[in-house]
Copies of this chain bind each other. A is one copy, B any other.
């Protein structure tokens, strides 16, 4: 089963999910989580832009080659909303996952519950801890519940 891990790149939630799933037949993919590389990939490869909008634009599109592939090929999409920043790209990915009919698991904090209500409404699970995502994956693959 292929799982795409979208969203927040500042904490170790991906590692916790990947580590916890070591015994499961799951392949994970994710966006590039090196923030600087992700921001500069467009201009680093395709040439400098004096205007920040186009600097970002070039980078966003190069990143999209990777992220859409991950998303479109996933059997399950997990989207993590962290503590800080606008995180509109996470919500955007959730929207794409929903429109593509991908099972969506949202990993978020209780204080964001109201702001995420539309996305929770489209999700099949709303978790608060990466370990819950691991438990879902284990249950989905093996039928075993946490004891």
Given A95-B98, A96-B96, A136-B62, check contact A113 B56 (CB 8 Å). Answer: yes
Which residue from B53, B64, B95, B105 sits with its C-beta under 8 Å from A96? B95
Give Cα A86–Cα B125 distance, bound, in whole angstroms. 21
Q: Closest B residue to A34 by CB, please name it.
A: B143
Q: Which residues of B have CB within 8 Å of A75?
A: 69
Question: Is A76 in the interface zone, CB < 8 Å from B?
Answer: yes
User: Does A130 count as interface, using CB distance less than 8 angstroms?
Assistant: no
Q: Are A103 and B69 in contact (CB under 8 A)?
A: yes
Q: Which residue of B lies closest to A72 (CB)?
A: B101
Q: Which of chain B's residues have a CB closer than 8 A to the CB of A32?
A: 139, 143
- Is the CB–CB distance between B62 and A139 below 8 Å? yes
Q: Does A24 contact B (CB under 8 A)?
A: no
Q: Answer whether A140 and B62 are a contact pair too, CB < 8 Å, given A44-B146, A103-B68.
A: yes
Within 8 A of B (CB), among A73-119: 75-76, 81, 85-101, 103, 105, 112-119
A50, chain B: closest CB distance, angstroms: 8
- What CA separation (Å) do A1 and B59 show in the bound complex? 20
7 sample A-B contacts, Cβ–Cβ < 8 Å, listed by A number: A44-B145, A45-B127, A60-B120, A65-B105, A88-B118, A89-B117, A95-B96
Residues of A within 8 A of B (CB): 1, 32-34, 37, 40-42, 44-46, 51-54, 56-69, 75-76, 81, 85-101, 103, 105, 112-127, 132, 135-136, 139-141, 143-146
